[in-house]
Structure 1
Amino acid sequence: MGFWSDIPDPLGGSPGLPLAAGAMLFGIFGSLLGSFTNVVILRMAEGRSVVFPPSACPHCHHRLSALDLVPIFGWVMLRGRCRYCQAPISIQYPLVELAAALILASSFWFWGASRQLVPTAAWAIIWLIQTMLLIREEVAAPGPFLWPLLAFAVLTWVAGGPWLAVWALAPVLGTIAGWLATRGPSPGRFFPWFGVGTAAALAIPAWGWAGPLVLLGLAGIFPHGPTSLARKALKGALLLHLAAGLALAIRFGLWS
Protein backbone atom coordinates (compact mmCIF):
# COMPACT_ATOMS: atom_id res chain seq x y z
CA MET A 1 0.00 0.00 0.00
CA GLY A 2 1.42 3.36 -1.00
CA PHE A 3 0.60 6.96 -0.25
CA TRP A 4 -1.75 7.32 -3.18
CA SER A 5 -3.52 4.00 -2.66
CA ASP A 6 -4.34 5.03 0.94
CA ILE A 7 -6.40 7.99 -0.29
CA PRO A 8 -10.12 7.19 -0.79
CA ASP A 9 -11.18 7.12 -4.41
CA PRO A 10 -13.44 10.19 -4.90
CA LEU A 11 -14.96 8.70 -8.04
CA GLY A 12 -15.83 5.39 -6.47
CA GLY A 13 -13.74 3.27 -8.86
CA SER A 14 -16.75 2.27 -10.96
CA PRO A 15 -17.76 3.93 -14.21
CA GLY A 16 -21.48 3.35 -13.61
CA LEU A 17 -22.13 2.85 -17.33
CA PRO A 18 -20.95 0.43 -20.02
CA LEU A 19 -17.27 0.85 -20.77
CA ALA A 20 -17.72 1.47 -24.51
CA ALA A 21 -20.47 4.05 -23.94
CA GLY A 22 -18.39 5.81 -21.33
CA ALA A 23 -15.35 5.88 -23.59
CA MET A 24 -17.51 7.32 -26.40
CA LEU A 25 -18.86 10.07 -24.15
CA PHE A 26 -15.38 10.90 -22.91
CA GLY A 27 -14.18 10.91 -26.51
CA ILE A 28 -16.84 13.46 -27.47
CA PHE A 29 -15.91 15.60 -24.49
CA GLY A 30 -12.25 15.17 -25.44
CA SER A 31 -12.90 16.47 -28.95
CA LEU A 32 -14.55 19.58 -27.46
CA LEU A 33 -11.59 19.97 -25.13
CA GLY A 34 -9.31 19.55 -28.15
CA SER A 35 -11.14 22.37 -29.91
CA PHE A 36 -10.47 24.64 -26.94
CA THR A 37 -6.90 23.33 -26.84
CA ASN A 38 -6.45 24.63 -30.39
CA VAL A 39 -7.58 28.05 -29.19
CA VAL A 40 -5.08 27.90 -26.33
CA ILE A 41 -2.25 26.84 -28.65
CA LEU A 42 -2.95 29.54 -31.25
CA ARG A 43 -3.67 32.43 -28.92
CA MET A 44 -0.89 31.72 -26.44
CA ALA A 45 1.55 31.57 -29.34
CA GLU A 46 0.29 34.99 -30.44
CA GLY A 47 0.08 36.44 -26.92
CA ARG A 48 -3.72 36.90 -27.02
CA SER A 49 -6.48 36.11 -24.54
CA VAL A 50 -7.80 32.55 -24.74
CA VAL A 51 -11.32 33.76 -23.82
CA PHE A 52 -12.03 36.88 -25.89
CA PRO A 53 -12.80 37.65 -28.66
CA PRO A 54 -14.87 34.77 -30.12
CA SER A 55 -13.22 32.48 -32.67
CA ALA A 56 -12.78 33.93 -36.14
CA CYS A 57 -11.00 33.05 -39.37
CA PRO A 58 -7.35 34.18 -39.06
CA HIS A 59 -7.42 35.27 -42.72
CA CYS A 60 -10.70 37.14 -43.29
CA HIS A 61 -11.49 37.61 -39.55
CA HIS A 62 -15.11 36.55 -40.08
CA ARG A 63 -16.64 35.23 -36.87
CA LEU A 64 -17.08 31.46 -37.04
CA SER A 65 -20.50 29.86 -36.60
CA ALA A 66 -21.28 26.92 -34.31
CA LEU A 67 -21.26 24.57 -37.31
CA ASP A 68 -17.80 25.76 -38.28
CA LEU A 69 -16.55 24.86 -34.81
CA VAL A 70 -17.82 21.27 -34.66
CA PRO A 71 -14.71 19.28 -33.65
CA ILE A 72 -13.11 17.15 -36.38
CA PHE A 73 -16.22 16.94 -38.57
CA GLY A 74 -16.40 20.72 -39.02
CA TRP A 75 -13.01 20.66 -40.76
CA VAL A 76 -14.09 17.67 -42.87
CA MET A 77 -17.39 19.28 -43.90
CA LEU A 78 -15.59 22.48 -44.85
CA ARG A 79 -13.02 20.41 -46.77
CA GLY A 80 -10.24 22.16 -44.93
CA ARG A 81 -11.19 25.65 -46.13
CA CYS A 82 -12.84 28.69 -44.57
CA ARG A 83 -16.54 28.88 -45.42
CA TYR A 84 -16.28 32.63 -46.02
CA CYS A 85 -12.98 33.31 -47.79
CA GLN A 86 -11.92 29.78 -48.86
CA ALA A 87 -8.53 30.17 -47.20
CA PRO A 88 -7.00 26.83 -46.18
CA ILE A 89 -7.50 25.69 -42.58
CA SER A 90 -4.50 23.98 -41.02
CA ILE A 91 -4.86 20.24 -40.49
CA GLN A 92 -3.48 20.88 -37.00
CA TYR A 93 -7.02 21.68 -35.82
CA PRO A 94 -8.70 18.31 -36.49
CA LEU A 95 -5.56 16.40 -35.50
CA VAL A 96 -5.36 18.07 -32.08
CA GLU A 97 -9.10 17.53 -31.59
CA LEU A 98 -8.72 13.87 -32.53
CA ALA A 99 -5.70 13.49 -30.24
CA ALA A 100 -7.59 14.98 -27.28
CA ALA A 101 -10.59 12.74 -28.01
CA LEU A 102 -8.35 9.66 -28.06
CA ILE A 103 -6.61 10.75 -24.84
CA LEU A 104 -9.84 11.03 -22.86
CA ALA A 105 -11.53 8.01 -24.45
CA SER A 106 -8.54 5.73 -23.89
CA SER A 107 -7.99 7.09 -20.36
CA PHE A 108 -11.55 6.13 -19.47
CA TRP A 109 -11.26 2.80 -21.31
CA PHE A 110 -8.25 1.72 -19.25
CA TRP A 111 -9.04 3.36 -15.92
CA GLY A 112 -12.79 3.95 -15.75
CA ALA A 113 -13.96 6.47 -13.17
CA SER A 114 -10.98 5.91 -10.89
CA ARG A 115 -8.35 8.11 -9.25
CA GLN A 116 -6.09 7.46 -12.23
CA LEU A 117 -8.44 9.02 -14.77
CA VAL A 118 -8.22 12.75 -14.08
CA PRO A 119 -4.46 13.12 -13.42
CA THR A 120 -3.50 10.88 -16.33
CA ALA A 121 -5.77 12.67 -18.81
CA ALA A 122 -4.82 16.13 -17.51
CA TRP A 123 -1.08 15.37 -17.70
CA ALA A 124 -1.53 14.07 -21.24
CA ILE A 125 -3.49 17.12 -22.42
CA ILE A 126 -0.93 19.52 -20.92
CA TRP A 127 1.89 17.63 -22.64
CA LEU A 128 -0.04 17.78 -25.94
CA ILE A 129 -0.45 21.57 -25.66
CA GLN A 130 3.20 22.10 -24.73
CA THR A 131 4.44 19.99 -27.64
CA MET A 132 2.24 21.78 -30.17
CA LEU A 133 3.44 25.17 -28.90
CA LEU A 134 7.01 24.03 -29.49
CA ILE A 135 6.28 22.72 -32.97
CA ARG A 136 4.66 26.01 -33.96
CA GLU A 137 7.97 27.76 -33.09
CA GLU A 138 6.09 30.86 -31.96
CA VAL A 139 6.88 30.83 -28.25
CA ALA A 140 9.65 32.98 -26.82
CA ALA A 141 10.22 30.73 -23.78
CA PRO A 142 9.74 27.04 -22.98
CA GLY A 143 6.25 27.89 -21.81
CA PRO A 144 4.11 28.17 -18.68
CA PHE A 145 3.07 24.53 -18.95
CA LEU A 146 6.46 23.48 -17.60
CA TRP A 147 5.21 24.29 -14.10
CA PRO A 148 2.17 21.99 -14.09
CA LEU A 149 4.30 19.25 -15.66
CA LEU A 150 6.84 19.69 -12.87
CA ALA A 151 4.00 19.62 -10.33
CA PHE A 152 2.79 16.33 -11.79
CA ALA A 153 6.31 14.94 -11.47
CA VAL A 154 6.43 15.90 -7.77
CA LEU A 155 3.01 14.36 -7.12
CA THR A 156 4.07 11.24 -8.97
CA TRP A 157 7.17 11.00 -6.78
CA VAL A 158 4.96 11.13 -3.67
CA ALA A 159 2.39 8.72 -5.07
CA GLY A 160 4.55 6.18 -6.85
CA GLY A 161 8.20 6.72 -6.01
CA PRO A 162 11.25 8.24 -7.73
CA TRP A 163 11.26 5.98 -10.80
CA LEU A 164 7.76 7.05 -11.81
CA ALA A 165 8.73 10.66 -11.13
CA VAL A 166 11.66 10.30 -13.54
CA TRP A 167 9.19 9.08 -16.16
CA ALA A 168 6.86 12.02 -15.46
CA LEU A 169 9.78 14.42 -16.00
CA ALA A 170 10.21 13.24 -19.60
CA PRO A 171 8.01 15.97 -21.12
CA VAL A 172 9.81 18.61 -19.04
CA LEU A 173 13.23 17.65 -20.38
CA GLY A 174 11.77 17.24 -23.84
CA THR A 175 10.27 20.72 -23.69
CA ILE A 176 13.56 22.33 -22.70
CA ALA A 177 15.57 20.43 -25.31
CA GLY A 178 12.92 21.02 -27.96
CA TRP A 179 12.72 24.73 -27.25
CA LEU A 180 16.49 25.16 -27.43
CA ALA A 181 16.57 23.38 -30.77
CA THR A 182 13.50 24.88 -32.43
CA ARG A 183 14.31 28.42 -31.33
CA GLY A 184 17.82 28.12 -32.69
CA PRO A 185 20.22 29.43 -29.99
CA SER A 186 23.21 27.51 -28.77
CA PRO A 187 22.72 25.99 -25.29
CA GLY A 188 25.98 27.63 -24.24
CA ARG A 189 24.50 31.06 -24.88
CA PHE A 190 22.04 30.63 -22.03
CA PHE A 191 23.66 27.88 -19.95
CA PRO A 192 27.48 27.96 -20.32
CA TRP A 193 27.71 24.88 -18.10
CA PHE A 194 24.94 23.00 -19.90
CA GLY A 195 26.50 21.37 -22.94
CA VAL A 196 24.97 18.90 -25.35
CA GLY A 197 26.72 16.01 -23.60
CA THR A 198 25.24 17.01 -20.25
CA ALA A 199 21.79 17.38 -21.79
CA ALA A 200 22.01 13.94 -23.37
CA ALA A 201 23.23 12.37 -20.12
CA LEU A 202 20.28 13.87 -18.23
CA ALA A 203 17.76 13.06 -20.91
CA ILE A 204 18.58 9.39 -21.54
CA PRO A 205 17.60 8.08 -18.07
CA ALA A 206 14.35 10.05 -18.06
CA TRP A 207 13.34 9.28 -21.63
CA GLY A 208 14.42 5.63 -21.47
CA TRP A 209 13.24 3.97 -24.67
CA ALA A 210 12.99 7.43 -26.29
CA GLY A 211 16.64 8.32 -25.62
CA PRO A 212 17.63 8.07 -29.31
CA LEU A 213 14.87 10.54 -30.17
CA VAL A 214 16.24 12.99 -27.62
CA LEU A 215 19.71 12.67 -29.08
CA LEU A 216 18.25 13.20 -32.54
CA GLY A 217 16.70 16.45 -31.35
CA LEU A 218 19.81 17.57 -29.52
CA ALA A 219 21.88 16.82 -32.61
CA GLY A 220 20.08 19.74 -34.24
CA ILE A 221 21.63 22.22 -31.81
CA PHE A 222 24.66 23.83 -33.40
CA PRO A 223 26.69 26.90 -32.39
CA HIS A 224 24.95 28.96 -35.07
CA GLY A 225 21.52 27.38 -34.75
CA PRO A 226 20.00 24.21 -36.20
CA THR A 227 19.60 23.58 -39.89
CA SER A 228 16.18 23.32 -41.51
CA LEU A 229 16.54 19.55 -41.77
CA ALA A 230 17.48 19.32 -38.08
CA ARG A 231 14.40 21.35 -37.14
CA LYS A 232 12.16 18.97 -39.09
CA ALA A 233 13.89 15.97 -37.52
CA LEU A 234 13.36 17.41 -34.05
CA LYS A 235 9.69 18.10 -34.67
CA GLY A 236 9.24 14.53 -35.84
CA ALA A 237 11.08 13.30 -32.75
CA LEU A 238 8.89 15.41 -30.47
CA LEU A 239 5.71 14.04 -32.06
CA LEU A 240 6.94 10.44 -31.90
CA HIS A 241 7.92 10.80 -28.27
CA LEU A 242 4.61 12.46 -27.48
CA ALA A 243 2.63 9.63 -29.10
CA ALA A 244 4.66 6.84 -27.50
CA GLY A 245 4.82 8.57 -24.12
CA LEU A 246 1.08 9.20 -24.00
CA ALA A 247 0.31 5.63 -25.06
CA LEU A 248 2.43 4.18 -22.25
CA ALA A 249 1.26 6.69 -19.63
CA ILE A 250 -2.42 6.14 -20.42
CA ARG A 251 -2.04 2.36 -20.54
CA PHE A 252 -0.08 2.00 -17.29
CA GLY A 253 -1.04 5.22 -15.49
CA LEU A 254 1.10 7.83 -13.78
CA TRP A 255 1.02 5.88 -10.55
CA SER A 256 -0.52 2.77 -9.09
Structure 2
Amino acid sequence: MHQLPRTGRLHPFTVLVLAAAVVAITTAAGRWWLHTAVLAGCLLLAARAKRAGKLVRLGAVILVPAWGSHLLIHGLIDTGGGHVLAAAGPLRITTEGLVTAGQLGLRTGVLVVAGLLCSMLIDRHDLVAAVDLSSAPPQAGYLLAATLSLLPRLAQRQRAIGQAQALRGIPLAAGPRGWWRSVRLRSVPLVLSSVQDAADRSAYLAARGFPAKGAHTRLREVPDSPAQCWVRRVALGAMVLGPVALLAPTWVGQG
Protein backbone atom coordinates (compact mmCIF):
# COMPACT_ATOMS: atom_id res chain seq x y z
CA MET A 1 0.00 0.00 0.00
CA HIS A 2 1.28 3.47 -0.87
CA GLN A 3 2.14 5.41 2.26
CA LEU A 4 1.78 9.14 2.44
CA PRO A 5 4.82 11.08 3.66
CA ARG A 6 4.67 11.75 7.36
CA THR A 7 6.06 14.68 9.28
CA GLY A 8 7.63 12.39 11.88
CA ARG A 9 5.15 12.19 14.73
CA LEU A 10 3.92 15.75 14.47
CA HIS A 11 0.33 16.64 15.16
CA PRO A 12 -1.43 18.10 12.08
CA PHE A 13 -2.30 21.26 14.00
CA THR A 14 1.40 21.74 14.81
CA VAL A 15 2.30 21.73 11.12
CA LEU A 16 -0.54 24.09 10.22
CA VAL A 17 0.19 26.57 13.00
CA LEU A 18 3.92 26.63 12.22
CA ALA A 19 3.19 27.22 8.54
CA ALA A 20 0.71 30.00 9.35
CA ALA A 21 3.22 31.68 11.67
CA VAL A 22 5.98 31.52 9.05
CA VAL A 23 3.70 33.00 6.37
CA ALA A 24 2.43 35.78 8.65
CA ILE A 25 5.89 36.82 9.86
CA THR A 26 7.44 36.58 6.40
CA THR A 27 4.68 38.67 4.86
CA ALA A 28 4.94 41.31 7.57
CA ALA A 29 8.73 41.48 7.30
CA GLY A 30 8.63 42.07 3.55
CA ARG A 31 12.29 41.11 2.99
CA TRP A 32 13.13 39.39 -0.28
CA TRP A 33 15.89 37.32 1.29
CA LEU A 34 13.51 36.04 3.97
CA HIS A 35 10.92 35.05 1.36
CA THR A 36 13.65 33.31 -0.63
CA ALA A 37 14.89 31.48 2.46
CA VAL A 38 11.36 30.26 3.28
CA LEU A 39 10.84 29.04 -0.28
CA ALA A 40 14.17 27.21 -0.18
CA GLY A 41 13.26 25.67 3.18
CA CYS A 42 9.94 24.44 1.79
CA LEU A 43 11.74 22.84 -1.15
CA LEU A 44 14.18 21.13 1.20
CA LEU A 45 11.35 19.75 3.33
CA ALA A 46 9.54 18.57 0.21
CA ALA A 47 12.72 16.91 -1.07
CA ARG A 48 13.15 15.14 2.26
CA ALA A 49 9.59 13.81 1.92
CA LYS A 50 10.27 12.93 -1.76
CA ARG A 51 7.65 15.40 -2.92
CA ALA A 52 9.87 18.14 -4.39
CA GLY A 53 8.88 17.41 -7.99
CA LYS A 54 5.18 17.46 -7.19
CA LEU A 55 5.57 20.68 -5.20
CA VAL A 56 7.37 22.37 -8.09
CA ARG A 57 4.76 21.24 -10.62
CA LEU A 58 1.73 22.27 -8.59
CA GLY A 59 3.40 25.50 -7.51
CA ALA A 60 4.20 26.39 -11.11
CA VAL A 61 0.62 25.77 -12.21
CA ILE A 62 -0.65 28.22 -9.58
CA LEU A 63 2.17 30.75 -9.44
CA VAL A 64 3.05 31.28 -13.10
CA PRO A 65 -0.32 32.95 -13.90
CA ALA A 66 -0.17 34.92 -10.64
CA TRP A 67 3.36 36.12 -11.29
CA GLY A 68 2.40 36.98 -14.86
CA SER A 69 -0.47 39.16 -13.63
CA HIS A 70 1.80 40.90 -11.11
CA LEU A 71 4.36 41.58 -13.82
CA LEU A 72 1.71 42.87 -16.22
CA ILE A 73 -0.05 45.12 -13.71
CA HIS A 74 2.92 46.48 -11.79
CA GLY A 75 5.95 45.84 -13.97
CA LEU A 76 4.81 46.68 -17.49
CA ILE A 77 2.09 49.31 -17.12
CA ASP A 78 3.18 51.09 -13.94
CA THR A 79 2.20 54.76 -13.93
CA GLY A 80 3.54 55.88 -10.58
CA GLY A 81 7.24 55.04 -10.80
CA GLY A 82 9.77 57.75 -11.50
CA HIS A 83 12.70 55.66 -12.77
CA VAL A 84 11.54 54.69 -16.26
CA LEU A 85 13.55 51.86 -17.80
CA ALA A 86 11.60 51.59 -21.06
CA ALA A 87 8.41 52.98 -22.54
CA ALA A 88 6.49 52.10 -25.68
CA GLY A 89 2.88 53.16 -26.07
CA PRO A 90 0.86 52.01 -23.06
CA LEU A 91 3.76 49.94 -21.75
CA ARG A 92 5.88 51.69 -19.16
CA ILE A 93 8.52 49.67 -17.34
CA THR A 94 9.81 51.31 -14.16
CA THR A 95 12.16 50.22 -11.43
CA GLU A 96 9.51 50.75 -8.78
CA GLY A 97 7.00 48.67 -10.72
CA LEU A 98 9.40 45.76 -11.12
CA VAL A 99 10.27 45.89 -7.42
CA THR A 100 6.59 45.88 -6.46
CA ALA A 101 5.87 42.98 -8.82
CA GLY A 102 8.79 41.03 -7.37
CA GLN A 103 7.71 41.64 -3.78
CA LEU A 104 4.12 40.62 -4.44
CA GLY A 105 5.32 37.58 -6.37
CA LEU A 106 7.50 36.43 -3.49
CA ARG A 107 4.69 36.92 -0.98
CA THR A 108 2.30 34.95 -3.15
CA GLY A 109 4.95 32.26 -3.63
CA VAL A 110 5.45 31.80 0.11
CA LEU A 111 1.71 31.54 0.73
CA VAL A 112 1.11 29.05 -2.09
CA VAL A 113 4.19 26.89 -1.54
CA ALA A 114 3.66 26.70 2.23
CA GLY A 115 0.03 25.72 1.74
CA LEU A 116 0.88 23.08 -0.84
CA LEU A 117 3.61 21.68 1.38
CA CYS A 118 1.17 21.32 4.28
CA SER A 119 -1.29 19.49 2.03
CA MET A 120 1.46 17.06 1.01
CA LEU A 121 2.92 16.43 4.45
CA ILE A 122 -0.27 16.11 6.48
CA ASP A 123 -2.27 12.92 6.26
CA ARG A 124 -5.84 14.06 5.70
CA HIS A 125 -7.14 11.19 7.85
CA ASP A 126 -4.98 12.39 10.75
CA LEU A 127 -6.25 15.92 10.18
CA VAL A 128 -9.88 14.82 10.27
CA ALA A 129 -9.22 12.74 13.40
CA ALA A 130 -7.51 15.73 15.01
CA VAL A 131 -10.55 17.88 14.34
CA ASP A 132 -12.76 15.15 15.80
CA LEU A 133 -10.63 14.93 18.92
CA SER A 134 -10.61 18.69 19.39
CA SER A 135 -13.38 20.79 20.87
CA ALA A 136 -14.72 21.60 17.40
CA PRO A 137 -18.25 20.42 16.55
CA PRO A 138 -18.32 16.87 15.14
CA GLN A 139 -19.89 18.22 11.95
CA ALA A 140 -16.62 20.04 11.22
CA GLY A 141 -14.75 16.76 10.95
CA TYR A 142 -17.18 15.37 8.41
CA LEU A 143 -17.22 18.55 6.33
CA LEU A 144 -13.43 18.68 6.36
CA ALA A 145 -13.16 15.05 5.28
CA ALA A 146 -15.69 15.58 2.50
CA THR A 147 -13.87 18.67 1.26
CA LEU A 148 -10.44 17.03 1.26
CA SER A 149 -11.63 13.92 -0.56
CA LEU A 150 -14.09 15.52 -3.00
CA LEU A 151 -11.75 16.68 -5.77
CA PRO A 152 -9.58 13.52 -5.92
CA ARG A 153 -12.69 11.36 -5.93
CA LEU A 154 -14.33 13.36 -8.71
CA ALA A 155 -11.13 13.29 -10.78
CA GLN A 156 -10.85 9.52 -10.38
CA ARG A 157 -14.50 9.04 -11.21
CA GLN A 158 -14.40 11.16 -14.36
CA ARG A 159 -11.37 9.20 -15.58
CA ALA A 160 -13.27 5.95 -15.02
CA ILE A 161 -16.27 7.34 -16.91
CA GLY A 162 -14.03 8.39 -19.79
CA GLN A 163 -12.43 4.95 -19.96
CA ALA A 164 -15.83 3.25 -19.93
CA GLN A 165 -17.07 5.48 -22.73
CA ALA A 166 -13.91 4.79 -24.74
CA LEU A 167 -14.49 1.03 -24.36
CA ARG A 168 -18.02 1.53 -25.65
CA GLY A 169 -16.56 3.10 -28.79
CA ILE A 170 -17.96 6.61 -28.36
CA PRO A 171 -16.12 8.76 -30.94
CA LEU A 172 -14.69 12.10 -29.89
CA ALA A 173 -13.58 14.77 -32.34
CA ALA A 174 -10.39 16.71 -31.86
CA GLY A 175 -10.21 20.36 -30.88
CA PRO A 176 -12.57 22.48 -28.76
CA ARG A 177 -15.64 20.78 -30.20
CA GLY A 178 -14.40 17.34 -29.15
CA TRP A 179 -13.44 18.64 -25.71
CA TRP A 180 -16.89 20.12 -25.20
CA ARG A 181 -18.58 16.88 -26.29
CA SER A 182 -16.37 14.94 -23.88
CA VAL A 183 -17.34 17.24 -21.01
CA ARG A 184 -21.02 16.98 -21.90
CA LEU A 185 -20.95 13.19 -22.10
CA ARG A 186 -19.14 12.84 -18.78
CA SER A 187 -21.04 15.48 -16.81
CA VAL A 188 -24.37 13.62 -16.59
CA PRO A 189 -23.00 10.29 -15.26
CA LEU A 190 -20.60 12.22 -13.01
CA VAL A 191 -23.42 14.21 -11.40
CA LEU A 192 -25.68 11.15 -11.08
CA SER A 193 -22.93 9.08 -9.49
CA SER A 194 -22.12 11.92 -7.09
CA VAL A 195 -25.76 12.14 -6.01
CA GLN A 196 -25.87 8.37 -5.51
CA ASP A 197 -22.63 8.54 -3.54
CA ALA A 198 -24.08 11.26 -1.31
CA ALA A 199 -27.13 9.09 -0.64
CA ASP A 200 -24.98 6.06 0.17
CA ARG A 201 -22.83 8.08 2.54
CA SER A 202 -25.69 9.74 4.37
CA ALA A 203 -25.26 7.23 7.20
CA TYR A 204 -21.88 8.78 7.97
CA LEU A 205 -23.59 12.08 8.72
CA ALA A 206 -25.25 10.51 11.74
CA ALA A 207 -21.97 8.92 12.78
CA ARG A 208 -20.30 12.34 12.70
CA GLY A 209 -23.05 14.08 14.61
CA PHE A 210 -25.87 15.06 12.26
CA PRO A 211 -27.49 15.47 14.72
CA ALA A 212 -25.20 14.84 17.68
CA LYS A 213 -26.28 11.92 19.89
CA GLY A 214 -23.70 11.82 22.63
CA ALA A 215 -20.06 10.82 22.56
CA HIS A 216 -18.60 8.73 19.73
CA THR A 217 -15.85 6.15 19.89
CA ARG A 218 -12.85 7.17 17.80
CA LEU A 219 -10.54 4.40 16.68
CA ARG A 220 -7.80 6.57 15.13
CA GLU A 221 -5.24 8.17 17.41
CA VAL A 222 -3.31 11.30 16.46
CA PRO A 223 0.22 11.70 17.88
CA ASP A 224 0.58 14.62 20.25
CA SER A 225 2.70 15.63 23.21
CA PRO A 226 2.99 18.45 25.77
CA ALA A 227 6.00 19.77 23.84
CA GLN A 228 3.92 20.08 20.68
CA CYS A 229 1.18 21.88 22.61
CA TRP A 230 3.81 24.33 23.84
CA VAL A 231 5.15 24.79 20.30
CA ARG A 232 1.65 25.51 19.01
CA ARG A 233 1.07 28.13 21.69
CA VAL A 234 4.39 29.80 20.91
CA ALA A 235 3.66 29.71 17.18
CA LEU A 236 0.21 31.21 17.70
CA GLY A 237 1.73 33.99 19.78
CA ALA A 238 4.39 34.61 17.15
CA MET A 239 1.76 34.64 14.41
CA VAL A 240 -0.12 37.43 16.20
CA LEU A 241 2.65 39.40 17.90
CA GLY A 242 5.34 38.99 15.24
CA PRO A 243 3.61 41.02 12.53
CA VAL A 244 2.57 43.62 15.11
CA ALA A 245 6.17 44.03 16.29
CA LEU A 246 7.42 44.30 12.72
CA LEU A 247 4.78 46.76 11.56
CA ALA A 248 4.52 48.89 14.72
CA PRO A 249 7.52 51.13 13.84
CA THR A 250 5.95 52.02 10.50
CA TRP A 251 2.64 52.81 12.19
CA VAL A 252 4.38 55.06 14.71
CA GLY A 253 6.30 56.79 11.93
CA GLN A 254 3.12 57.47 9.98
CA GLY A 255 1.43 58.79 13.08
Relative to the length of structure 1, the TM-score reads 0.26
**More relative contact order in 1 or in 2 (CA 8 Å, sep 6+)?**
2
Q: Which has the higher helix share?
A: 2
Larger radius of gyration: 2
